[in-house]
Every structure is written in structure tokens, then in C-alpha cells.
Amino acid sequence: MRHPLPSVPHWDRLLRLAGLAAVLGAVLLTWPRAGLAEQSSASDALAAMSRALERAQAAVVGIQVEAIVGARSASTLGKSRQGSGVVIDDDGLVLTIGYLVLEAAEVQLLTDDGRTVPAQVVGYDVATGFGLVRALAPLRLAPVALGQPPGVQTGQVLMVASGAGKGAAGAVSATRMVARRAFSGNWEYHIEGALFTSPPHARHSGAGLFDDRGELLGVGSLFVGNVQPDEAGAPPVRAGNMFVPVDLLRPILAEMRSQGRGSASARAWVGINCVERDGDLRVVRVSDDSPADVAGLQVGDRILRVDGQPVHSLAALWQSLWRGGVEREITLDIERNRAPAALKVYSVDRAVTVRHAEGI
């Protein structure tokens, strides 16, 4: 007699448990060998860790997003987006990465047991990159506690968990802490204390990074090709992920709930993407109808100074833009085709350029 195949949610759970077993195995390899008298307590500790990590991965949901018609972000992020989020309170509040829900028209949460729950965007914080959504029907999922990223040690084994998506089960994998340092994006973004891990988790967008107590340390943002730059006497670590640490969430969570963003997100925005090479800053993208576009900035321009101050790194460039008021005149000294030029750019608040679905 042929037995029917298990349902998709059942397979999803099996795959996640297999990933969880791999995480526990990686943790065990870091433990010192225990004597006979210590084996019982070690077994109890492992069982407790297993329960904590299983609770953590159960709080991770898939997120499906359809952007609004005419969304400016669709050209870079796509109209249909998939990622993950982590339940952080009893009322169905889900923490994710903000670019998933930018200019969202429809948001759905996919649970481990195969349910699809509608949700709405609560906030998107430009300064940190966090996004918040809230389930519009009961999720019936226990929230996770926020952990302490500063306490994580280099080399520590951690767990990454992503939620289910279209045609894909949720995934759990082991990773290691490689570095905690500042990160500057090629868009107008800079944070302190970003978490870098390796090996990479393929479905990183909004994935949860957890410690061995099952506490949330960060939310996945990027795949990066070099998580640890070359250092004297140490080989570089190439591929990995960057996570936005939850210690950046604590000070702004109340503001995100009430206002949709933290106060630091109200800052100058001009609409450029740049790359940094050997101290040179080159424009690689100019957003359509942005202040930079209106001012005539072009791809390939080399940015030399902001308001008369030399800039040689992405961190210096973005922080120079944010140093003054939100809406102001900014002088960019550039080099184009080896000829110097000065442009006047009138910055705006990023929030005024983001489109919203009706009623939000």
C-alpha cells in the first residue's frame, strides 16, 4: 500500500528541524569535552538550547509584498517582493527589513503551518533600515525576546532563520559571528555596529539572527562579498551577510509604532548611489526626479567636497549630507570628465518622496 506524501507544512517543519539540528551540532563542536559527572548537566543545557531555538524559528514568518502602482522603488526592488520577519510582540507586530515593505500596497504573512495572514505596514525607519508590519488577523505565534548584540563574541555560533515563501519552505542554518563594525551602503545609509556573519544565508532579506538562548540579535539586510576586510596576519572572510542589530531598534520602537519612523530618519536626502574606491567617490545611480537629478548630477561624476569639506569615504559623504537641516541647499564640488564643477542640490525629506497605498 502506497502512503500519501506529507503535506507541504509538514515538509517545511521537517526541513526546519533538520536545520536546527545542524545549528545544535555546530554549537556542540565549540563546547569543551565533558567528564562523566558533567555530561548530565551538559545534556540538560543542550535540551534547553534546543527548545529555545525551536521557539525562535517558530516566530519567523514569510513576508510577501506587492508594491503600489507607480512605486518608484519598483525599478530597483521589484514590484513583487519576498522575505521574512520576526514576531516581536503578542499583538502580531513583526520586525523585518524596511526595503521589503517600501511603498507596499499589499502585505501577507506566511506561517510555518501554511496559513496566509494579511498585514499592514506600521513603519519604515530610513536611518536604521528596519520595517514594521502588523498582522490583521491572529498569528497565534509566541514572540521572541530582543537580545544583546554587544555581548556576541567573534566566532560564536548563531542561528539564521527565514520564513516560508512562494514555492519555498522556511530555512534554518548555522553561521558564525565574524565582525561587528560600522557599515555604509552605496545608497544614503550608514549605521554603527552592524553584525557580519559567515557562511551566508541565501534568503537573508528580513531573516532573523538568533543567539543560543533564542533571542533575536538582528534582521538580515544584505549578502556581502567581503564580511571581514584584510587584516595583518589574518585571511579575509569573503562571503557572508550583514544584519541590522536590534540594539538600534530599542530607542526608536515607540516612535516607529506611533509615527512610522524614528526622529533620526528626518534628514536630508538627495537621491544618489555611490561607490568608494581608494578614496574616490563615484556616482553610480541617480534616482529619477530626485534633488540630485534635478540639479544635474550624473552617473560617473566624482564627488570631491560637500559644502566645501573634502569627503573620501561613503561614511563621510552621507554624514556630511545629514549634518545640516532636512531641506536645505547643499553645494557638491564634483569632477566630470576630468573637469571641476559645482552643483547646488536642494535636499528633501526622504519620506515625502515615498508613495503610499490609499488609506495608509
**With left for phi above 0 and alpha for psi between -120 and 50, is residue 298 left, alpha or beta?**
beta
Q: Average the pLDDT over each of 82-96, 250-264, 325-339, 343-357 and give the range with the smallest value.
A: 343-357
pLDDT of residue 77 exceeding 50, the answer is yes
Which of these three, 231, 261, 291, is where a domain ends?
A: 261
CB atoms within 10 A of CB 279: 9
Domain shared by 254 and 272, yes or no: no
Domain shared by 348 and 238, yes or no: no
Contacts within 8 Å (CB) and 24+ apart, 335-343:
335/301, 335/302, 335/304, 336/298, 336/300, 336/301, 336/302, 340/304, 343/295, 343/296, 343/297
Instruction: Provide mean pLDDT across the span 167-175.
Output: 80
Instruction: Provide mean pLDDT across the span 274-293.
Output: 94
Which pLDDT belongs to residue 19? 65
Which of these three, 211, 235, 261, is where a domain ends?
A: 261
In a domain, 272, yes or no: yes
**Residues 7, 5: Cα–Cα separation, whole Å:** 7
Q: What is the CATH number of the domain that holds 34?
A: 2.40.10.120
Domains in the chain, number: 2
Instruction: List C-alpha distances in Å: 176 to 173, 179, 201, 242.
Output: 10, 9, 11, 12
The pLDDT tens digits for 217-231 are 999 999 998 777 655
> At 116, is the pLDDT very low, low, confident or very high (cuts 50, 70, 90)?
very high
Q: Average the pLDDT over each of 159-173, 181-195, 242-256 and give the range with the smallest value.
A: 159-173
For the chain, give the percent of residues with pLDDT over 90.
67
Domain shared by 254 and 282, yes or no: no
- H or E stretch covering 286: strand 280-286
Which pLDDT belongs to residue 359? 46
Q: Which three cell numbers stand for residue 316?
A: 563621510
Which pLDDT belongs to residue 33? 58
**Got the DSSP string for 38-86?**
HHHHHHHHHHHHHHHHHHHHHTEEEEEEEEPTT-TTHHHH-SEEEEEEE
Which of these three, 239, 261, 283, is where a domain ends?
A: 261
Which pLDDT belongs to residue 14? 47
Instruction: Provide mean pLDDT across the span 34-41.
Output: 52
In a domain, 360, yes or no: no
The pLDDT tens digits for 4-21 are 434 444 445 544 556 666
> At 90, is the pLDDT very low, low, confident or very high (cuts 50, 70, 90)?
very high
CB 334 within 8 A of CB 301: yes
Mean pLDDT across the chain: 87
Which pLDDT belongs to residue 306? 97
Q: What is the CATH number of the domain that holds 282?
A: 2.30.42.10
**Residues 283, 265: Cα–Cα separation, whole Å:** 23
In a domain, 34, yes or no: yes
Domain shared by 330 and 251, yes or no: no
Query: What domain range is 337 assigned to?
Result: 266-353
Q: Which three cell numbers stand for residue 325?
A: 537641516
Listed in sequence order, the residues at least 6 apart from 183 whose beta carbon sits closer than 8 Å to its beta carbon are: 190, 191, 194, 242
What pairs with residue 302 in β-bridges? 282, 335
> At 97, is the pLDDT very low, low, confident or very high (cuts 50, 70, 90)?
very high
Instruction: Provide mean pLDDT across the span 158-166.
Output: 87
Nearest 5 degrees, angle CA 59-CA 65-CA 69?
A: 160
Which pLDDT belongs to residue 8? 43
In a domain, 305, yes or no: yes
Which pLDDT belongs to residue 236? 60
The pLDDT tens digits for 120-143 are 999 999 999 999 999 999 999 999
